[in-house]
Structure 1
Amino acid sequence: MHDVVIAGAGPVGCFLACELRLAGLSVLVLEQADNPSSPLKRLPFGLRGLSAPTLEAFYRRGLLSEIEAPQRAKDSSGNSAPNAAHWMQQARRPGGHFAGIQFFHDNIDTSTWQYRLPTPAGTSTAVEMEYLESVLAARAIALGAETRRGLGVDGFDQSEESVTVRAGDEVFRGRWLVGCDGGRSTVRKVGGFEFVGTDPEFTGYSVQVEMADPDQLKAGRQYTPTGMYTYQKPGTIAMVDFDGGAFHRTELITLEHVQAVLRSVSNTDVTVTALQLATTWTDRAYHATTYRKGRVLLAGDAAHIHSPLGGQGLNLGLGDAMNLAWKLAATLRGDAPAGLLDSYTNERHPVGVQVLDWSRAQVALMRPSRSSRALEAIIRDLIDTRDGATYFAERVWGTALRYDLGGSHPLVGRSAPDFELIDGTKLGPLLLNGGGVLLDFDSRPSLRALANRWSDRIAYVGSDVKERLGLSAVLVRPDGFVAWVGEASPDHDEAALAASRWFGEPASRESA
């Protein structure tokens, strides 16, 4: 029997496997696809923007350098990658977009983010989906996760002690099952999870084509009276047809159909001579009402689906994995405090709600109507202001993310600043092993004694730091989020309560 069976070997499933193996759990990953490679993932629209919480998670687990290697290679060459999206090849450096309306780095006021310190993680970067999957899959295997391809989960039964999983002709048992098996998740359906939301307004297309007259299309993103398209030479096109999602997964995608939709959306008579790659998608936005039922949990697209506009779905799923893994590990070890695993839904579900609404808002701006074009003009004016660009950056980059942990200090519930110790060590690498950290800037014997009561789960680090941010101590959870802060005179009782809340009963009962 495995501790955890994971359905799905995409980025979310593989990252979850890495985190669970870091905690010493036995992990089996079941994946329906025989081969993870796909030409569609290498399209320019296969590039995904990684946000600050995702980059910080990779940094804290020693994955950042490898994931950013292709981008660093491109930067050192001084040339844009040949498959870089059009918005990445501009003279003025864009920070991202909202429904195609860009905000720029030179307009963002980062001084308002008082609890962010310089970090190698940065705030955003683009990565090729297939490359990211390969890095995470290789790390999971190196850490000892077992992966079986060509075996998708067909069904399961759960008891109070375990889950019996059926995949093909084989049967597996795990103490827990996590569905990371995408938007059409079998785990979600068999598990009877309620899935609610809004139906699609359009069918989206991502295609690679050859055209007889490509100059008829304008480069970049273009809104038209009949839809929207984004064109990058020589023949990469994304377009949306407001048909209520009627075409998605209902018929074969033919050259003739793509040409007809492209002509309709672009209002040109462009001729498609060859269809090389094509896929469809929609803006359907649905959300599981809970991420846990008994011994079955959901993460990533299995828990929430929405349009790929803005590329936030990947970050949302990776955030699920980072939040869930240490809580599930503590539950399996038997040292989890009451309600710890339920806090996974409590913390991540509201984040999902925000992202789905962010996606819906972009769809509203894209509708082929005069009211949407009028709204677009207003958003363009707002996003070009310093306050506007800063707001959109906070949302797109994830720097505004804060879990409601009940603390009064504004840093509690936020990603921990990357404090630099006097010897040059940074906080990020101190989280490499997946445990908690109590960072005490004044090296108090009383806080050391408190941390020692949880010495198997919390590492005590007594050292001053180069920038205190008005604090004297910080308790950081395994996922890198702040559980407690001490100011001039730390409240030891509050620190002990926070430690008990997130790390369970102490191994030692000695008084702090």
Structure 2
Amino acid sequence: MEDVVIAGAGPNGLMLACELALAGIRPLVLERLPEPTTENRANGLVGQVVRLLDRRGLHERLAGPIAPPVPGFVFGALRLDLTLVDRNSLTVLGVPQRRIAAMLEERATELGVEIRRGHELTALTQDTDAVTLDVTGPDGPYRLQTRYHVGADGGRSVTRKLAGIGFPGVTEDRTVSHSANVTVPAEFTDPASGGLRVPGHGVIPPFFHYRTGTGLFAYAPFPTGTLVTAMEWTDDEEAEDEPPMTLDDQRASIRRVLGFDLPLGEPEGDGPHLLRRLRGRNTRLAEKFREGRVLLVGDAAHVHSAIGGPGLNLGLQDAVALGWKLAATLHGWAPDGLLDTYESERRPVAERVVMHTQAQSALISPGGDVTALRELFGELLRLPSAVQHIADLMSGADVRYEPGTDHPLDGRWAPDLVLADGTRLAELTTTARPLLLDFTGSLGDERHGWRDRVDLVSGHTNGDADGDATALLIRPDGYVAWASSSARPDDTERKALHAALERWFGRPLDA
């Protein structure tokens, strides 16, 4: 019997596989496609997930050292001036999704994960002890049994359907977008900003959603090739035999949105190059993220507009949030109800992503009333407090799981600490193990009963810690389970530390 079978070898399924392998569980990954897809569904990562990859040593594989947060971003085709905020955690990594998936597959393979391509899940049943899966592979059908099964198989998840989990929501079919990798003549680019000069519109900033009366335009000069997208509002229905999209379709769409014939050339390089037409938008949230021994991550649990790039930020963090809890359950030391906290913590995060993508979709819609709303919203975005709120929302920095104490860091993402010897927190978390950081030199004995599960690091910080923390208990997913700002924690704080250790990492060895 397998411990865990994961359906789906996209980024979310592969990230979960890596997390489980780091925790000593060897999952089996089933992927219905015989080869990795060449389709590029995303062009980068936005928000906390960039820092998460850094804390697993994976950012270095993709792009070297992590870059500082960006000075500006976009919300509903309105500019966010992030120079106005005190805390900017909106980091961006411009790497195509296919490269992210390839890197995660390489890492999973290094960790001993078995990935079976061309193997499709066709049936699923479960009882109190196991899940039975019927699978069709290149050599015919076969059956598997597993203690847990995870669906990371996308918005049309077979796992979700076979488990009988509803997927309520709405489908909006008034839009059609055309996206393509192209070349643009040099005379249309603005050297100062990196933006695009368009007669009648001025300079459209790079990576900016530009709204007109008829649609939305975006220009993104990635190192791997320039991407242009034009989204229109339409009453046309999708034809059953709609022909494949062409570069002429892209040119025509841009003409309708901008009122200008932007010269587009064929993309450079070997590809694969994006040439995609999408109709409508789906916004759906699974009725539950768990049904018995079956769980959902990523798009299998939630789909929403891609505006603002939140999809992989949400899905990859789902995977990391689930991985350590599922491993603890399989190892037998998980406290009662730990696996249930996967949904209780991640559903509210998904609901907020659904909320802000719907809000952004409203802000880019046509109509004079929306234009008036945008004017008011633009005034609000000159207020530092409003920009801070939205930047935290977009990055995921506003996430706070239920704290056990009133310390301001409890339940939040652990700050990017640097020890006095120059060691970054990211270098201490690559093993995905729970971590007690003790800068007081007094807590070593407190963690003794959990020494098989929780690592201890003592020392001093460089003085830049958020909240003047002197000690932190950090969960494998990067969130703080307990914190202190005392030079020497008193009995009350030590009791709270014991409670946090037991709440998240089970009973001590000598109990």
Fold match, TM over 0.5?
yes
Offset at residue 71 of structure 1 (A)? 8.8
Summarize deviations over 1:359-418 as a string: whole Å, max 9, x none: 000111111111111111222233244333333322222222211234322211111123
Which of 170, 173, 176 is matched with 2:148 structurally?
Answer: 176
Task: For 2:235 and 2:280, locate their aligned partners in 1 and report how far apart those are by CA, in whole Å.
Answer: 9
Instruction: Give yes or no for the alignment of 1:502 onto 2:500.
Output: no
- For 1:188, the equivalent position in structure 2 comes to 160
Cα deviation digits, residues 160-211 of structure 1 (max 9, x gap):
2111222222322221111111111111111111212232153342333889
The DSSP-based 3-state class of the residue aligned with 1:5 is strand
Structure 2 SS opposite 1:421: coil
8 A Cα contact 1:50 1:127, kept in partner: no
Amino acid aligned to 2:340: D
In 2, Cα distance between equivalents of 1:472 and 1:459: 16
Structure 1 residues 420 and 237 mapped into 2: Cα distance closer, same or farther (>3 Å)?
A: closer
1:359 is matched with which residue? 357
1:140 aligns with 2:112: no
User: Hey, what's the Cα distance between the residues in 2 that align with 1:31 and 1:368?
Assistant: 40
Within-5 A mapping of 1:471-486: 471-486=469-484
1:154 corresponds to which of 109, 118, 122: 122
Number of residue pairs aligned between Structure 1 and Structure 2: 475
Please show how residues 31-70 of structure 1 align to structure 2 within 5 Å. Answer: 31-41=31-41, 46-51=42-47, 53-69=48-64
Q: 99, 110, 121: which is aligned to 2:76?
A: 99
Residue 230 in 1 paired to residue 230 in 2?
no
- Which whole-Å CA distance do the structure 1 matches of 2:199 and 2:448 have between them? 69
Deviation digits for residues 393-447 of structure 1 (CA, Å, limit 9, x no counterpart): 2222222221123432221111112333333333332222221111222211xx3
- C-alpha separation in 2, matches of 1:236 and 1:411: 39
Q: Secondary structure at the match of 1:485?
A: strand
What letter matches 1:96 in structure 2? F
Q: Distance in 1 between matches of 2:468 and 2:262?
A: 61
CA distance in 1, matches of 2:110, 2:343: 29
1: distance between equivalents of 2:328 and 2:468?
Answer: 32
Label 1:131 to 1:270 Cα distance change in 2 as closer, same or farther (>3 A). Answer: closer
Partner AA of 2:160 in structure 1: R
The answer to whether the Cα contact below 8 Å between 2:4 and 2:150 also exists between their aligned partners in 1 is yes
Provide, for residues 80-122 of structure 1, a one-character-per-residue CA deviation record: whole Å limited to 9, x for no partner. xxxxxxxx9xxxx653211222223433322xx8xx9xxxxx8
Matches within 5 A, 1:284-303: 284-303=282-301
Q: SS at the partner of 2:399?
A: coil
Q: 1:254-302: CA deviations, max 9, x gaps?
A: 4486676555444568899999822315322100122100010000000
Q: Which residue is 1:16 aligned to?
A: 16
Within 2, Cα distance between the matches of 1:443 and 1:479?
25
Judge conservation of contact 2:12–2:297 (CA < 8 Å) in 1: yes
How many angstroms apart in 1 are the aligned matches of 2:412 and 2:383? 26
Residue 30 of structure 1 corresponds to: 30
Unaligned runs of 5+ in 2: 189-197, 268-273
- How far residue 132 of structure 1 moved from its aligned partner, in angstroms, is 0.9
Residue 239 of structure 1 aligns with which residue?
230
Matches within 5 A, 1:279-358: 279-358=277-356
In structure 2, give the amino acid aligned to 1:22: L
Relative to structure 1, is the Cα distance of residues 455 and 209 closer, same or farther in structure 2, using a 3 angstrom cutoff? closer
SS of equivalent residue, structure 1 residue 357: helix
Q: 1:60 to 1:236 in 2, by over 3 A?
A: closer
Q: Which amino acid aligns with 2:16?
A: L
The aligned amino acid for 2:459 is S
**TM-score for both structures, normalised by structure 1:** 0.84
Identity %: 35
DSSP-derived class of the 2:462 partner = coil
- C-alpha change, 1:39 and 1:313, in structure 2 (3 Å) is closer
Q: Matches of 1:217 and 1:282 in 2, distance apart? A: 28
Matches within 5 A, 1:411-422: 411-422=409-420
SS at match of 2:44: strand
Letter in 1 for 2:30: L
**Distance change in 2, residues 1:210/1:19 (3 Å):** closer
For the 8 Å contact 2:245–2:275, the answer to whether it is kept is no
C-alpha separation between the residues in 1 aligned to 2:240 and 2:86?
Answer: 43
> Where does 1:264-279 land on structure 2 (aligned, <5 Å)?
264-267=256-259, 277-279=275-277
Whole-angstrom distance in 1 between the partners of 2:255 and 2:407 = 55
Give distance in 2, aligned partners of 1:344 and 1:123.
Answer: 25
In structure 1, list runs of 5 or more residues that go unmatched: 76-87, 117-121
Structure 1: distance between partners of 2:277 and 2:116? 26
Residue 448 of structure 2 aligns with an amino acid whose one-letter code is N
Are 1:55 and 1:64, in contact at CA under 8 Å, matched by a contact in 2?
Answer: yes
The alpha-carbon deviation at position 212 of structure 1 amounts to 13
| Cα distance in structure 2, aligned partners of 1:231 and 1:421 | 40
Task: Assess if the C-alpha contact under 8 Å between 1:71 and 1:127 holds in 2.
Answer: no
How many angstroms apart in 2 are the aligned matches of 1:297 and 1:378? 42
Q: Is the 8 A contact 1:440 1:473 kept in 2?
A: yes
Q: Is the CA contact 2:59–2:66 (under 8 Å) kept in the aligned structure 1?
A: no
2:145 counterpart SS class: strand
Map of 1:399 onto structure 2: 397
What is the DSSP-based 3-state SS (H/G/I as helix, E as strand, rest coil) of the residue aligned with 2:401? coil
User: Which of 9-18 and 189-198 deviates more?
Assistant: 189-198
TM-score by length of 2: 0.84
